[in-house]
Amino acid sequence: MKSFKAYFKKEITEAIRTYKYLVLFFGFIFWPAMLGPMMLKLLPLILKNYMPAETMQLFSDFTRDYAFQSFLSDSFQFMLAFMAFVLMGLLANEVRLKRLVFPYSRGADPEGVVLAKYIHYAITVSLFILIAFFIDYLYVDRFFTGGILSLKILFESSLLYILYFCTLLSILLYLSSLFRRGLAAGFTVLILGFSLSIFNQFDTIKAYFPNYLILKAADIGHVFDSSLIPAIIISFCLIILFVFLSVLRMKKIDVA
């Protein structure tokens, strides 16, 4: 518990001083939630002199639901890329730069170190996702009309996004403990995040993969239903498994 508290505080200090919060803000909130709806609104104005009138007619059909779905698609890509590359060195850098020498030689618990890192960034990612969704709602609601989008739907979608990104975060944490270079972990998670979406094409198995959470988050009006249960259970199991594996790895690894 002492190691957990010490590392939790250290992670907050580190995220502030090394601008991790700021970079995550840009990737999670600014681009997809603030810039995204604005661009969608401004797109017809920008393109009106360059495109035929029939095509321009399509833009006028943009509803709040469409704008929100557009945000979900953008935010998935932005959040995945930013999370993978900002947090890829979570454990790899600690080991490679020998920063665990003092804490470990003074009896720091690997469980505390790993849990502090995971919980801190799980909270950060969750908060950023929630904020991004609510900011996007404000913009979408102001810029567009029509559709059935409500705060309830938005909240349900954001919860699925939070669970999905917390699952990926646990995988990233584990890979970061496996590779000496964080870049390898970042790329692997990035590829994994995008490639798992392929399973959404297969109706019989898609509900058993975490990427189904992302698919359902965009299913406005039917976000929460029983088809989500396997994906939710599997996601939680994956989180527990990869955090546990990370702890095991950090117990066995040579840190000097």
d(CA 117, CA 104): 16
Residue bearing tokens 């850098």? 93
Binding residue for other proteins (CB under 8 A) from 37, 72, 74, 109? 109
Write the interaction track for other proteins spanning residues 5-44; mark x where CB under 8 A is met and - where it is not: xx--xx--xx--xx--------------------------
Q: Please give the residues from 197 up to 256 whose contact with other proteins meets the rule CB under 8 A.
A: 252, 254-256
Minimum separation from the CB atom of position 244 to other proteins (A): 19
Question: Which stretch, 61-69, 107-115, 192-200, 238-246, contacts other proteins (CB under 8 A)?
Answer: 107-115
Give the total of residues touching other proteins (CB under 8 A). 27
Q: Please give the residues from 53 up to 72 whose contact with other proteins meets the rule CB under 8 A.
A: none
Binding residue for other proteins (CB under 8 A) from 47, 101, 123, 127? 101
Binding residue for other proteins (CB under 8 A) from 55, 57, 105, 195? 105
Q: Please give the residues from 79 up to 98 whose contact with other proteins meets the rule CB under 8 A.
A: 97-98
Q: What is the 3-state secondary structure (H, E, C) of the chain?
A: CHHHHHHHHHHHHHHHHCCHHHHHHHHHHHHHHHHHHHHHHHHHHHHCCCCCHHHHHHHHCCEHHHHHHHHHHHHHHHHHHHHHHHCCCCCHHHHHCCCCHHHHHCCCCHHHHHHHHHHHHHHHHHHHHHHHHHHHHHHHHHHCECCCCCHHHHHHHHHHHHHHHHHHHHHHHHHHHHCCCHHHHHHHHHHHHHHHHHHHHCCCCHHHCCHHHHHHHCCCCCCCCHHHHHHHHHHHHHHHHHHHHHHHHHHHCCCC
Contact at 8 Å (CB) between 7 and 110?
Answer: no
Nearer Cβ to other proteins, position 113 or 223?
Answer: 113
Question: Which stretch, 48-56, 100-108, 116-124, 213-221, contacts other proteins (CB under 8 A)?
Answer: 100-108
Identify any residues that bridge with 96 across adjacent strands, giving them in sequence order: none
Nearer Cβ to other proteins, position 36 or 182?
Answer: 182
Binding residue for other proteins (CB under 8 A) from 52, 53, 102, 225? 102
Minimum separation from the CB atom of position 111 to other proteins (A): 11
Nearer Cβ to other proteins, position 52 or 107?
Answer: 107
Q: Which residues bind other proteins (CB under 8 A)?
A: 2-3, 5-6, 9-10, 13-14, 17-18, 97-109, 252, 254-256
